[in-house]
Each structure stands twice: as structure tokens, then as C-alpha cells.
Amino acid sequence: MERVRYDGPGHVLHAFGRTLKRGDTEEFSEQEVRQLLAQPAIRVTVEPTRAARPLPGGVMTWVYPEVPAPPSGVGEPEADNGEGHTTSSKEKK
Amino acid sequence: MATSVLEVIAAPYEVWLAPVGFAFPDVDEIPIGTMGWELLGTSGTKSYDEKGVTVTFNDAKSTFTPAGSTAPRKVWRISEQISVGVDVVDMSAVNIAKALNDGTVTQVAAGSGTPGTDSVPLLQGHDVALFAALIRGISSAGPEFTAQFELPIVYQDGKPAPAFLKGTPAGVAFNLMTLEDDDLGFGQYVIQTADAT
């Protein structure tokens, strides 16, 4: 379902069993919305129904699933162990 | 160097209507729907009859001619009103509704077994719809500038008589008549003379 606002040019719109005054919004099915948009004599604006939800901090980011670590000993990159120096799967001599 | 005679104007003006009380746009602003102004005629001046827009300053005066003279000695203005006449060649429901006392246009969306329609009531009733009117075109100070008549209260006094015959487009007559606004009177004529700095 999509929310549709009637923008005129008339004052009242009868569409698919519903009545809207100019400026009113109403929910219509996607097929009904397509039919309304296909009629040039009627001006409507489709309003988004699913608002984007920001993550904490107000920044929109994508969160990817965790990638499993490659087998140890083969081309494993050095990783920071959080204590200020790097470690390696191979012990340094 | 030849000088152009800027004060002579021969260009069509366009008419805009809004509910009474809406602010008039500045001369360098284009009236748009968000400001409450609607252009009369779907295509503006391209919807108007060749006669264009006529602004007439009507008034009636009374004079006093005493018994001792054959000439009047005093004059009073007893009534005045401004009229704006234009024939709009536009048979859309919106334009016809505007001419018939700003009637309500009802739209029915096309659906299964239902044709799409726009309808306009023809009975106007005893209350007369009022508008604010803006008539604007080029300024006498230069073709790049704008001039506009700002009429705070008008009513439609035209008698639409569209004739449906071959070879002649059907039109709707508008004759906008002013009413006095308590603060603004009949409004003003504003001529732009320079660009904003």
C-alpha cells in the first residue's frame, strides 16, 4: 500500500471508493497508484510509507555479515591485538 | 544613438488569481502555486483571445450647474470601479469553474467500468466568490522589467457565452470587478524600474 496525496487541479477526487479533498492523503494499492499516475488530468504525489531509520549517531551505514577468517598459516595478514603492536600467526625470531 | 520609446507598450498581460488576503508577489518574483496564485487559463496569455486583457477605470461624476450660469461649477465623483476584461479560450473544468463563481471541480478517477471525469456545478447561488487579482506584464521602464496591477478584492462579473461552432474556438468571458479593500482601496499599479542589487 502507498500513501497518495491529491494535488488537484480539482477540489475533490473520487477514486476507487475513496474521496479526497485537495491536500488530503489516502492509502491506495500499488495497482491503484499506477492507474492514478497514468491519468494526466489528476495530479497526485506518492508519499514514502517506509521511512529510513537512522542508526544511533544519525549516520546511515550498511552492516555486512561477518566474513569467516581464512585458514591460519596461509597469507594471513598481521592484525592489531589492541595493545599498540601487531601480532602475526608466525612467531618472530 | 537612437533611443527606444520604452513608455509605449504593446504586449499582452497575464492574469493571476488567489484567495483574498494572499500577499502579492514582488515584481521580480514569479507567482507560483505555493504562493497561492493560480494563472488564469491553462497556458496563460496563449489561452487568451486576441483582444488580450483590458483594464478599464470606470467612474461616475455629478456636477452642479447653478441657476445663474450655464456652466457647471462643482464636480463630485459619486462612484468608481475598475474592471479587467479577458476572454479565455480554455474549456477545461478548472477554467469554467473559475468563471462560474469559483465552483468546486469534482474529479472521478478512471477505474474498471468507470470513465475518468471532471465535473463543474452550473448553479452559482447567491453568494459571490471573491478573489485577489494580479495582472502583470512588461514594464514601461524596459522590456526586461515587470509591471503589475495589484487588485486586492475582485469578483467575476463576466457572462460566459461559449459558442460551439466550427472554425471559432469556444471561450469563457471574464470581467473582474473591484471591491474596495478597507486598507488597500483598489490596490496599486507597480512598475519595476531596476533590478535588485
Minimum mean pLDDT range among A38-42, A66-70, B132-136, B163-167: A66-70
What span, in angstroms and rounded, lies between the C-alpha atoms of B54 and A44? Answer: 36
Percent of the residues in chain B that have a pLDDT greater than 90, as a whole number:
85
**What are the angstrom distances between the C-alpha of A42 and each of A14, A67, B18, B44, B111?**
11, 51, 21, 20, 13
Q: Average pLDDT, whole number, for chain B? A: 93
For residue A16, list chain B residues with Cβ-Cβ distance below 8 A: 109, 111
Q: What pLDDT score does A1 carry? A: 82
Across the interface, of A9, A11, A15, the residue whose CB is closest to B109 is: A15
Provide the phi-psi class of A17: left if phi over 0, else alpha when psi is between -120 and 50, else beta.
Answer: left
Q: What is the pLDDT of residues B112-164, one digit of tens each?
A: 899 999 999 999 999 999 999 999 999 999 889 999 999 999 999 999 999 99
What span, in angstroms and rounded, lies between the C-alpha atoms of B30 and B45? Answer: 15
Q: What pLDDT score does A72 carry? A: 65
For residue B108, list chain A residues with Cβ-Cβ distance below 8 A: 13-15
Longest dimension (CA), chain B: 84
Q: What pLDDT score does A87 carry? A: 45
Q: CA triplet B48, B49, B51: central angle to 5 degrees?
A: 115
Q: Higher confidence at residue B34 or residue A11?
A: A11
Question: CB–CB of B106 and A10 under 8 A?
Answer: yes
Closest CA to A35 of A2, A71, A72, A70: A2
Q: What pLDDT score does A92 carry? A: 41
Question: CB–CB of B110 and A39 under 8 A?
Answer: yes
Percent of the residues in chain B that have a pLDDT greater than 70, as a whole number:
97
Interface test mutation site (partner A, options B37, B43, B91, B107, max chain A beta carbons within 10 A): B107
Question: CB–CB of B108 and A9 under 8 A?
Answer: no
Closest CA to B42 of B85, B91, B4: B91
Chain A nearest-CA distance from B39, in A, is 12
B108 interfacial to chain A (CB closer than 8 Å): yes
Residue B25: pLDDT over 60: yes
For residue B112, list chain A residues with Cβ-Cβ distance below 8 A: none
Are the CB atoms for B158 and B53 separated by under 8 Å? no
* Surface of B (7-36) touching A: CB under 8 A: none
Which residues neighbour B108 within 8 Å (Cβ) at sequence distance 6 or greater?
A13, A14, A15, B114, B115, B116, B117, B118, B119
The C-alpha cell at B74 is 462643482
Closest CA to B86 of B154, B152, B26: B154
B116 interfacial to chain A (CB closer than 8 Å): yes
